[in-house]
Structure 1
Amino acid sequence: MLKTLGKVALLVLAVLVAGAWLVVLRLKNVPLPLLVGYGLLLLGLVAGLLWPGRFTRARVLLFAGAPAALATLGIYFAVVFYISDTPVLIGLAAATALASAGAARLRAARRPAGAAKAGHSRRAVLLAGAGVALGAVSVVSAGQVERRRAALAEQGRGAREEALRAPGARRRVTDGAVRVFPIHTGDTIVTYGQFYGGLDGWEGGSGYLRTLLDKAEIAVPVYAYLIDHPRHGTMMVDSGVNWEQAHDHDGYYNHNAMVSRLLSQRDEYRMAPGQDLRVQVARLGYDIKDITTVFLTHVHDDHAGGLRHLPQAKVVMDRHDWDGGVLYPHSFDLVKDNLDFPRFDSGTYSSFAQSKDYFGDGSVMLLPTPGHSPGHLCVALRMDGGSALFIGDTLYTLPHLASGQVRQMTIGGEDTARQLDAARRIQAHLRAEPAAAPLFAHDNTPYQAGVVSSVLSSGLPGADGFQRMRRHMDTVLTPSYELRPGHAPSYIPAAAGAGAGRVEFR
């Protein structure tokens, strides 16, 4: 009885481990039918080893174990392998050969003189030679890998320098006005339901499960914002993604350990050379080294990746996010000793019960909007002619202001309630402040591409620019924040083999 219970426990443990592995592979976009077949093969192997029945375990290993091992190796090399794994894998092969050589040498020592002893001795010598040779290859390959990565980095540097020299660069204007520039730092690939399906069951654990099964994907922009303030210097709201995240993804996330690389998608970011944060800041006429402050709406990596380029900046964020958000340490390595966690002790601000007047002059107000992450915050910036409200990921796009009709995937439970409360406060603030305009981090609608990009092309919207943004809002949303006809998002699949789909508004 105890033996049977032990076998059942081993089977349950094996199923859990295999299930976690299959989830990782699904995150890597391995087709579902292939995963089902592979999972059944693994289950058959474990069950066969525990209860071989009329089969011997040797036959189970031959007919199920060998195919499972080959399938695992093939899948690993197809979807998980990264170039920096090469010396590690060769080193493991060297260690295996040397261990086998040691075992063969022990067996030879126990044998009496004769053909068997000589055979084991020869095997030990051959395995030891192979181990030494593989060890040498591992050492050499480590250098080759680093040289290849250096060459790829140099190619990226060349592409960025070419983008810097392209026509259209500007000079900084210093006339005492507050300026804001949207910086499109590339795109991220997300599931359509994750972006627009919060009212269709994409919530909490079931929502995350659906991201594994439903691969209807779209590309959405990742925006950061550069602020030129005559009194407080050059600042940013968020920092977008960086070049390595888009072009050396596995290497970037391998800084944190293999598990981070396994649990992120290799193709989740896209970035053209001209979208690099360093390039765009320079082409606007600014020196990235002069950015003194980054207001981070939250710690998620598509907002924090650009911190790698801002080691001199003070990063202002809510401590709840630092303590409990989803943090990728490598993005913060260069700024972790220069973090500022403000207290929201400046009283009410518009529709918000708490706020932080960061500079003490009302120019920059930090507003707690938890829900998307534990310490998410929004930033209100006073400008000539109006005020900009940087919304981060509380709401992804302008249509998301109609939170009763369009909603992104939410965490669930109290976090969803907090996020909806933050959305209502944003609505109330915009209703009370007719010269305030929302600025989003991922807006993939004509609001960002057409209106915001035009109004902020010089960084100086003025009263006319703020009114233009508000007029566009009025064409999309009613005063009670419901969608007008023609503005509901709809997923349009891509042609076979063409990659991500697109969104139309109908």
Structure 2
Amino acid sequence: HPLKTGTIVVDQGAYVTRGIGLGKEVEIPGTAWYVTDGSRKIMVDAGMCRTELADWHHRGSRQDPGEAIHERLGALGVDPAEIELVILTHLHWDHCHNLDKFPRARFLVHSRELAFAHDPIPPYYKSYEHPRLGCRPPYADISLETISGEAEILPGITVFPTPGHSPGHQSVAVTTDGGVHVIAGDAVFSCANLVPAGEHLPFTVMGRFSDIVESWYSMEAIVRRGKVVLPGHDMRTMDHPVYPAV
């Protein structure tokens, strides 16, 4: 289930499609995912924050009433206390707010991501809401478990490294009746990233990355693995309330 936890306003060419649409403001969703087989209940990411803080990150960004992750789950009839696991693709601000709404969950993040979040380079202070800016990171009071590579976390749910957008980014492959669906996180921002950019370029590179080479390899790995790729910030993922889509 894709859950829209707010709206982020970004420059298309700087964030979504590198160099394409520079200066054009676009609205993208802050997306989290609820995954269940009817008994096991997990989250991939927890989404973004309230409007006041979102606007500090990107002017015009917002979280409308009913969009906080616990409210979205409530609308599905799911009590956040039922969630047993939250897999974090990475620790940027728009993916890990409201973790305290999951009192019984384990929280899983890549070890490299946690290390970088604790000591990022200055251009990433804001992304991680780092204390050097006077912030308290949203995961500060959360006990985070770390993973360093690929692993099947639960039957049919595999986490695998997809660095590039951030140093320790990871994506989640979910085996379904409709084939493997990869929840890409920000390793793939938009469906537009999966459109060939030229004769020898099978992808359109994202604008926001820490390492363009790793980002490219991660997109290749995602496409190889997934029958369906679910990007991290594309409203088209909301076209279907549940996947596999019928």
Which range, TM-score by smaller chain?
A: 0.7 to 0.9
1:25-424 correspondence runs (5 A): 181-199=1-19, 216-230=24-38, 233-243=40-50, 246=51, 248-249=52-53, 264-265=56-57, 267-325=59-117, 326=124, 327-328=128-129, 329-335=136-142, 338-344=143-149, 355-359=150-154, 361=155, 363-402=156-195, 404=201, 406-411=204-209, 415-424=211-220
Which of structures 1 and 2 has the bigger CA Rg? 1
Quick one: distance in 2 between partners of 1:308 and 1:242?
12
Quick one: distance in 2 between partners of 1:420 and 1:226?
27
What secondary structure, in the 3-state scheme, does the structure 2 residue paired with 1:448 have? helix
Q: Which runs of 5+ in 2 are unaligned?
A: 118-123, 130-135
What secondary structure, in the 3-state scheme, does the structure 1 residue paired with 2:95 have? helix
Quick one: distance in 1 between partners of 2:16 and 2:57?
20
Which of 1 and 2 has higher RCO (CA within 8 Å, sep 6+)?
2
Question: Does the Cα contact within 8 Å between 2:181 and 2:230 map onto a contact in 1?
Answer: yes
Cα shift at 1:358: 1.5
Q: Which runs of 5+ in 1 are unaligned?
A: 1-180, 203-213, 251-260, 345-354, 431-435, 469-506
The normalised TM-score by structure 2 is 0.81
The one-letter amino acid of 1:249's match is: L
Cα shift at 1:322: 0.6
Quick one: distance in 1 between partners of 2:221 and 2:100?
33
What secondary structure, in the 3-state scheme, does the structure 2 residue paired with 1:269 have? coil
Identity %: 23
Question: Does the Cα contact within 8 Å between 2:113 and 2:166 map onto a contact in 1?
Answer: yes
Paired residues, what number?
Answer: 226
The normalised TM-score by structure 1 is 0.41
The one-letter amino acid of 2:218's match is: A
Question: Does the Cα contact within 8 Å between 1:223 and 1:440 map onto a contact in 2?
Answer: no
Quick one: distance in 1 between partners of 2:187 and 2:58?
25
Question: Does the Cα contact within 8 Å between 1:196 and 1:406 map onto a contact in 2?
Answer: no
Cα shift at 1:416: 0.7
Query: Any idea what the Cα deviations from partners look like across 1:91-142, whole Å, max 9, x if unmatched?
Result: xxxxxxxxxxxxxxxxxxxxxxxxxxxxxxxxxxxxxxxxxxxxxxxxxxxx
Quick one: distance in 1 between partners of 2:10 and 2:93?
14
The one-letter amino acid of 2:207's match is: M
Please name the residue that 1:63 is paired with: none
Quick one: distance in 2 between partners of 1:239 and 1:278?
9
Question: Does the Cα contact within 8 Å between 1:199 and 1:406 map onto a contact in 2?
Answer: no
Query: Any idea what the Cα deviations from partners look like across 1:163-182, whole Å, max 9, x if unmatched?
Result: xxxxxxxxxxxxxxxxxx11
Cα RMSD over matched residues? 2.5
Quick one: distance in 2 between partners of 1:422 and 1:293?
24
